[in-house]
Structure 1
Amino acid sequence: MTDTIRTPVTIEEVAAVAGVSRSTVSRVVNGSTAVSPAALESVRRAIDELNYIPNRAARSLASRATMAIALVVPEDTTRFFGDPFFATIVNGINARMRRSDYVLNLIIASDDPQDKATAYLRSGAVDGAIIVSHHTSDSFIDRIAAAMPVVYGGRPVRQRERDYYVDVDNKAGGRLATEYLIGKGHRRIATITGPLTMPGGIDRLDGFREAMDAAGLTPAAIEDGDFTADGAAAAMTRILESKTEVDAIFVASDLMARGALAALARVGIRVPDDVALIGYDDSPVATSVVPALTTVRQPSFHQGELMADTLLSLLAGGRPPHVTLLETALIERESA
């Protein structure tokens, strides 16, 4: 008895069994969402029935595609691995990528003075990029965006009509946190901001200012905490040393709120008995500190999924929305 060599199943055979076009099968295989639920189910059944295995190498040669996407994080490694925001957003991106035929490459670059990361990405090593946590000084990302499809996590620092981004309504979130403190009767409210070189830091401060202005209040203090625990502890110390009277603090991230709590505890100021404190993110940090943080929840995991979904749609020839803006929600706990 001789073994029979099975000819690989073709995409055309899958299309015939599914009763759809070849391009529809291609969109399903590439993870595009531009497919009706009925067609998606038909193609998946046909793939299972025929045991179809996409020939990535052949597709790459034909289309010059690498079947790889870069996640570009313009931060240093300490910040990237130390901030739970990044872990959540990467989990969301990866969850969506697992349902596609692409692999994810992580590029961490706090700056790129020698253009190493930029040159690598522009060389054709990836088909597209997701860029998160960018600053006004990160001009190298413009050169990346000029070479390939890009989706930004957060509003781009130099926004153009052609840009695609998925963001949280940070201005509304900052306003929500501040209105909550005002509603609790607080009037001497300070804020510890993120870097004002980042749209997220700017927008949360703008929301704080809007709520204070609407209530006829003047901010007790505004200090930059750099989106780090140490930076926020230093900012909190500056507020305390200035002898400014403060009865509440809006801290623009949970990680910074942890640093502010530590600085307050060192001088015997109790939260919320002596001063109320509210964070932002609803990250795991919010429930790991004492007291647990009242905070503004941003849907970071879902944001990651949508960023990946938008880029995959672009790579498949789709027309996703240029701007996707997600809502925030207030989570009440013990600190305010």
Structure 2
Amino acid sequence: MPGELVAPPQKAVTLEEVARVAGVSRATVSRVVNRVPTVDSSIRETVQQAIDATGYRPNLAARSLVTRRAGSVALVLPNEGRIFGDPFFGRVVEGAMGVVQPLGVHLVVTLAGSSTHEHLVADLRQGRLDGAILIHTHSGDPLPSMLANMRLPVVLSGRPVGRLRISHVDVDQAAGARLAAEHLVGLGRRRVATISGPLENPAAIDRLEGFRAAMADLGVVDVPWTEGDFSSESGARAAERLLAEHPDLDGLFVASDLMAHGALPVLRRAGRRVPEDVSVVGFDDSSSALVCDPPLTTVRQPVEDMAAEMVRLLLDHIDRPNRPVSSVVFAPTFVVRQSA
């Protein structure tokens, strides 16, 4: 339009400018941008700070010609309705994005399924994706072993099933369950029950077995339990079953905050006050814990840090195809609020 002022296009930041800010050579900046693993970690951090300060964005098309990589990795989430209401998965995406965005790597979020498996394998083998992160697979899922056996770059959330050799990142599930047991017993609770996650999930198994073993060590051998599926609705149904069979329970460990969110109103409707009559402990320390009534005492797993580590581990596998399989296990912490 006549008289309209048009801002000139913003000049792209160059590698030379980043190098000048970082006080290193252009070649060093290039090695950091292209994720060459031999760069010293302190230098890598200095260059990354300069990248953030200058707003540099890699030319992905040019870089792909040099590295022969797509510059994209897949984040495969379980194909379940609950992912849209479970804050866990949003935390995973947030943690992963914090690593890939500064590097100019695209994160392709997809849902698991048989057709997804076929496309994912094809994209990895044909170079349209550089690697994949698999979140919350179950014992019958063929995808982890399929990718591992093909020696494609892949990292798993949680420990693998059986003896599958695949890099993975997890929290010490049993240690987290022990923290819950010690807290409940420390409050004097002895008629304690637990709601597990789905027992096709290794994390759910580890939390259940870890909790019951810890309670036995603390002198409480009989711990009733029932199974949920990590959703709020399943937590409510499980609490109803437990109360029908054990109306005098005085402690409850729930294997996810979202299930605890469903269980608390059931306790209230049954006339059981929390925490006066029943102490309730969850697992995750998600946003669900804060909206519970009362706010939920819970085991915290550092989901964002774990997701970031999964990305870093995957990128290292992409950079070094022959690197050995490895695992990173984070320590849980305990967050005391008003429910226990």
Instruction: Report if TM-score (shorter chain) is over 0.5.
Output: yes
| Residue 309 of structure 1 pairs with residue 312 of structure 2 | yes
Give the residue type in structure 1 aligned to 2:310: M
Report the counterpart of residue 255 of structure 1 in structure 2: 258
SS in 2 for 1:124: coil
Deviates more, 1:20-29 or 1:310-319: 20-29
Decide which of 203, 206, 209 is 1:203's aligned counterpart: 206
Quick check: 2:231–2:259 contact (8 Å CA) kept in 1? yes
How far apart, CA to CA, are the structure 1 residues paired with 2:248 and 2:55? 70
Quick check: 2:176–2:333 contact (8 Å CA) kept in 1? yes
Quick check: 2:34–2:67 contact (8 Å CA) kept in 1? no
| Residue 150 of structure 1 pairs with residue 158 of structure 2 | no
- What stretches of structure 1 of length at least 5 have no aligned partner? 1-7
TM-score w.r.t. the length of structure 2 is: 0.84
| Residue 177 of structure 1 pairs with residue 193 of structure 2 | no
Give the residue type in structure 2 aligned to 1:70: A
How far apart, CA to CA, are the structure 1 residues paired with 2:258 and 2:273? 18
Quick check: 2:198–2:227 contact (8 Å CA) kept in 1? yes
- Give the 3 Å change call, closer, same or farther, for CA 287–320 of structure 1 in structure 2: farther
TM-score w.r.t. the length of structure 1 is: 0.85
CA offsets per residue over residues 66-114 of structure 1, 9 Å max, x none?
A: 11000011332x2211111111111001111112121100011255588
Report the counterpart of residue 264 of structure 1 in structure 2: 267
Decide which of 12, 26, 33 is 1:29's aligned counterpart: 33
Deviates more, 1:119-128 or 1:248-257: 119-128
How far apart, CA to CA, are the structure 2 residues paired with 1:264 and 1:35? 56
- Give the 3 Å change call, closer, same or farther, for CA 187–21 of structure 1 in structure 2: same
Quick check: 1:69–1:129 contact (8 Å CA) kept in 2? yes
| Residue 297 of structure 1 pairs with residue 312 of structure 2 | no
How far apart, CA to CA, are the structure 2 residues paired with 1:188 and 1:44? 53
Give the residue type in structure 1 aligned to 2:137: H
Quick check: 2:52–2:102 contact (8 Å CA) kept in 1? no
User: How many aligned positions are there?
Assistant: 327
How far apart, CA to CA, are the structure 2 residues paired with 1:325 and 1:134? 17
CA offsets per residue over residues 108-167 of structure 1, 9 Å max, x none?
A: 125558834444444432000111111011113322332521111111224434x21111
Quick check: 1:122–1:144 contact (8 Å CA) kept in 2? no
**Cα displacement (A) at 1:26:** 3.9
| Residue 225 of structure 1 pairs with residue 235 of structure 2 | no
SS in 1 for 2:193: strand
Report the counterpart of residue 3 of structure 1 in structure 2: none
**Cα displacement (A) at 1:312:** 1.7
Deviates more, 1:133-142 or 1:27-36: 27-36
Quick check: 1:188–1:246 contact (8 Å CA) kept in 2? yes
**Cα displacement (A) at 1:230:** 0.8
How far apart, CA to CA, are the structure 2 residues paired with 1:158 and 1:48? 42
Give the residue type in structure 1 aligned to 2:181: T
- Give the 3 Å change call, closer, same or farther, for CA 69–238 of structure 1 in structure 2: same
- Give the 3 Å change call, closer, same or farther, for CA 114–177 of structure 1 in structure 2: closer
How far apart, CA to CA, are the structure 1 residues paired with 2:190 and 2:264? 20
Report the counterpart of residue 100 of structure 1 in structure 2: 103
**Cα displacement (A) at 1:244:** 5.2
Deviates more, 1:216-225 or 1:278-287: 216-225
Quick check: 1:75–1:133 contact (8 Å CA) kept in 2? no
Once the two structures are superposed, the pairs formed by residues 106-121 of structure 1 within 5 Å of their partners are: 106-112=109-115, 115-121=118-124
Give the residue type in structure 2 aligned to 1:73: L
Decide which of 231, 241, 244 is 1:241's aligned counterpart: 244
**Cα displacement (A) at 1:58:** 3.1
Report the counterpart of residue 328 of structure 2 in structure 1: 324
- Give the 3 Å change call, closer, same or farther, for CA 265–119 of structure 1 in structure 2: farther
Report the counterpart of residue 61 of structure 1 in structure 2: 65
Deviates more, 1:81-90 or 1:10-19: 10-19
SS in 2 for 1:287: helix
How far apart, CA to CA, are the structure 1 residues paired with 2:117 and 2:297? 43
Quick check: 1:128–1:150 contact (8 Å CA) kept in 2? yes
- What stretches of structure 2 of length at least 5 have no aligned partner? 1-11
**Cα displacement (A) at 1:261:** 0.7
How far apart, CA to CA, are the structure 2 residues paired with 1:157 and 1:166? 13
- Over the residues paired in the alignment, what is the CA RMSD in angstroms? 3.3
- Give the 3 Å change call, closer, same or farther, for CA 263–43 of structure 1 in structure 2: closer
Deviates more, 1:58-67 or 1:174-183: 58-67
Quick check: 1:192–1:223 contact (8 Å CA) kept in 2? yes
Quick check: 1:189–1:246 contact (8 Å CA) kept in 2? yes
Quick check: 2:58–2:103 contact (8 Å CA) kept in 1? no
| Residue 90 of structure 1 pairs with residue 62 of structure 2 | no
Deviates more, 1:33-42 or 1:149-158: 33-42
